[in-house]
Every structure is written in structure tokens, then in C-alpha cells.
Amino acid sequence: MSASLEDGARLDFVLALRRRWADTVYPHLREAFDAAGGDDTRPPAELAQAVHALPGFGAFAWLERGSQKMLWRAVEDAVAGRPAEADAPAAAASPVQVDPALQLPSWYTDWDIHLQPGGVWSSRASAHVYELGAKLVMMGENDDYSFHRLFAETALPKRDYARIVDLGCGFGKSTWPLKAAFPQAEVTGVDLAAPCLELAAGRAAARQLAVTFRQGDACATGLEGGGFDLVTSTMLVHELPREALVSLLREAARLLAPGGVLAFLDFQPTGDGFRDLSLVEHSARNNEPFMAPMMAMDLVGEAQAAGLVHARWTAFDERGAGDLGQPAWPRRREWHFPWAVLHAEKPA
């Protein structure tokens, strides 16, 4: 994006602050925990009490939430300061299928998820703010959407998919790589936020990718059942309350053709108690109220209950390896999201 010198400096500062929080402050906290004889196998409440008593914990927690607030203020100012034409996406090859009768669920509108003021759905500007903010949330490591390309290239079986649906597609960052990886497929992106979909369609057109974008609830899409060979989502699962998650898996099973594949990229506990506590508490500090409950759910069991088979989680390393094909994460010093892929299939 084109930013003024002042806006660019603010964005660079926030990005650097978030990186130091992850690669310096978090490891310092972990070292202090270990030096105190930390036992991360104790019950969660006892573990949390021990971590909260560490001298550096207050700075760690404040920087996590404070830097996120700074991020959105800097991004909003940068987007507001751009010329209007900079925010105008290319004309989409086909119009977005907007549903004027769609009622946005209260669990979606009642929270400023990620601390983004007004959420991603409230205006055209909010979609552009989300687009830029998503880069900084990933600490600048996804500027060219390599993360999503890695998912498409490593987590999905190599097949000739005829039809693909991407649930909770946002402004399209997860959908474009699907079309690029499987150009012969008919790809549809579904999301609740009409402004994000309009931006997604324009960005897809600029990339010369023919993708259909449709406003709808991922838990009840209205799409024909049994018509898709691949159902995906990226960073959607942890943003849904329990009842909606159960409905999401049932809807995915309904959409899949016999033998079709489900692949949802999200988070799972790593088995490292200290790291897992930091993510559970991230749920509160980042206004993501459904993340912690999701991580306590048995989504493999829920997928099986929805009629899917071969359900399993595999770890995902965003640094280049992608889907690791097994449930164990590599040991890492810095704070990071424990990315994982929920795989399942519909019986043939």
C-alpha cells in the first residue's frame, strides 16, 4: 500500500513492537518460569497463578493487548489517509452475491473481534482496514499471502477438484490461493461480511482469478448439498461459538460430495502447558471469546458425529514446511500460533 511517511513509520513501529513481544518478551517470560522450577503439567488454574506471579508477566500481557490496539489505530489512520482510488478494487468479473435478507448473528456483531473497532462487516472502510491489519497481525510474515498458499500446497490432497468452497473467506486471502492451486476448479468463497466480499471479488479480478463470492452463513450456506469435492476454512473455527461449530461441521458434511475432503486450518493445544496457557489467555486479550472454548472441544469427535470419517488434526508450520502430517509441533523459542489442520472425508 501507499502510505505517508508518518503513517508508514507508525506501522513499522507497531510491527517491530509486536515482533519483539513475540521473540524477546515471551522467551524471557518462559525462561523466568523455567528458572523458578516451573511445572507446566499442573492443573490450568495453578499454572496460570504461577505464570501471573512472574515479574515480567504484566509487561507481557499489557504489550499483547496494547500493541493490538496500537495496530488498529495505525491501520485506520493509514487507510483513512489514502487517496480514495487506492481503496477501489478492480471491477469484479462477476458481482458478489449479496443476501439483503441475511441477519448477521449476534455472536458475530457483539464483539470487536481481534480488537478491530467496528469489526470487519460494518463498512467498506472496515474491509480495507482488515486487509491491511491482517498483514500486521501475522507480524509481516504474510504480505504476499504465502501462508495461505502453503496451506493450499501442503495440506490438501492433490486431486482434480471440480468444485471447492471456502467458508469464512473474508477479503479472499484464503480463496485466491485455492483457485491458483486448482485452476480447473469452480471456487466459491462464502462470508458474512458483504464489504469484505466486495473487496475480495475486486482483488480476485485484479489477479485474473475467476472466483464466485457469496454472502452467507458458513453454518447454513444455502448452497446445494453433495456438490463440492473440497470444503475449506482458514482461521474460522476459533471464531465460532460451540453451537455454531457443531453446525459448521454438519454443514460441511452436507456440502461435500461422496469421497470429498474437508480441511480446516486453525489452532489446537500443543501439549506444552506454558505455551497453551499463553494462547488460551490470548483469547481474552485479543477479543476472541470463542478461541479458548474451541481448544477444549473434541472437534475430531464432532466431525465424526457429523458423518465424516478419517478425522484427525495435523500440525502446521507456517515457516515453510506447512502441513507436517503428524500431530506434534516442533519446539520453538518464540511466541507463535499453534497452527493445525483438521482433516476429514465424506464416505464414498
In order of their start, the domains of the chain are 139-345 (3.40.50.150)
CA distance 48 to 340: 24
Inform me whether the pLDDT recorded for 226 exceeds 70: yes
- What pLDDT is stored for residue 5 in this prediction? 84
What does pLDDT average to over the chain? 93
- What pLDDT is stored for residue 3 in this prediction? 60
Condensed to tens digits (0 to 9), the pLDDT of residues 125-165 reads 999 999 998 887 776 565 678 899 999 999 999 999 999 99
CA distance 178 to 53: 45
Query: What's the distance, CA 309 to chain centroid?
Result: 24
Taking residues 305-314, what's their average pLDDT?
A: 98
Taking residues 317-346, what's their average pLDDT?
A: 95
> Please, which pLDDT band fits residue 204 given cuts at 50, 70 and 90?
very high
Q: Which three cell numbers stand for residue 280?
A: 488460551
Inform me whether the pLDDT recorded for 94 exceeds 70: no
Tell me which residue of 132, 124, 164 sits closest to 14, measured CA to CA: 132
Percent of the chain's residues with pLDDT above 90 = 88
- What pLDDT is stored for residue 300 in this prediction? 98
Phi, psi dihedrals of residue 22, rounded to the nearest 5°: -80, -40
Inform me whether the pLDDT recorded for 313 exceeds 50: yes
First to last CA, the chain: 46
Cα 288–Cα 291–Cα 294 angle in degrees, nearest 5: 150
CA distance 70 to 87: 22
Condensed to tens digits (0 to 9), the pLDDT of residues 4-45 reads 888 889 999 999 999 999 999 999 999 999 999 989 999 999
Task: Please enumerate in sequence order all residues whose Cβ is within 8 A of that of 332, keeping only pairs 6 or more positions apart, or say none.
Answer: none
Condensed to tens digits (0 to 9), the pLDDT of residues 255-291 reads 999 999 999 999 999 999 999 999 999 999 999 999 9
- What pLDDT is stored for residue 272 in this prediction? 94
> Please, which pLDDT band fits residue 85 given cuts at 50, 70 and 90?
low
- What pLDDT is stored for residue 93 in this prediction? 67
> Could you tell me how many residues make up the chain?
348
Taking residues 72-85, what's their average pLDDT?
A: 85
Query: What's the distance, CA 176 to chain centroid?
Result: 15
Inform me whether the pLDDT recorded for 1 exceeds 50: no
Report which of residues 90 and 74 the model is more confident about.
74
Q: Which residues pair with 283 in a beta bridge?
A: none
- What pLDDT is stored for residue 220 in this prediction? 97
322-323, strands of its sheet edge to edge: 211-215, 186-191, 163-167, 228-234, 256-267, 339-345, 309-317, 322-323
Task: Please enumerate in sequence order all residues whose Cβ is within 8 A of that of 37, keeping only pairs 6 or more positions apart, or say none.
Answer: none
Task: Name the H helices within the chain.
Answer: 5-20, 26-35, 44-52, 57-80, 106-109, 124-137, 146-154, 175-181, 194-206, 242-255, 273-285, 291-295, 299-305
Phi, psi dihedrals of residue 163, rounded to the nearest 5°: -140, 135
- What pLDDT is stored for residue 135 in this prediction? 80
- What pLDDT is stored for residue 87 in this prediction? 65
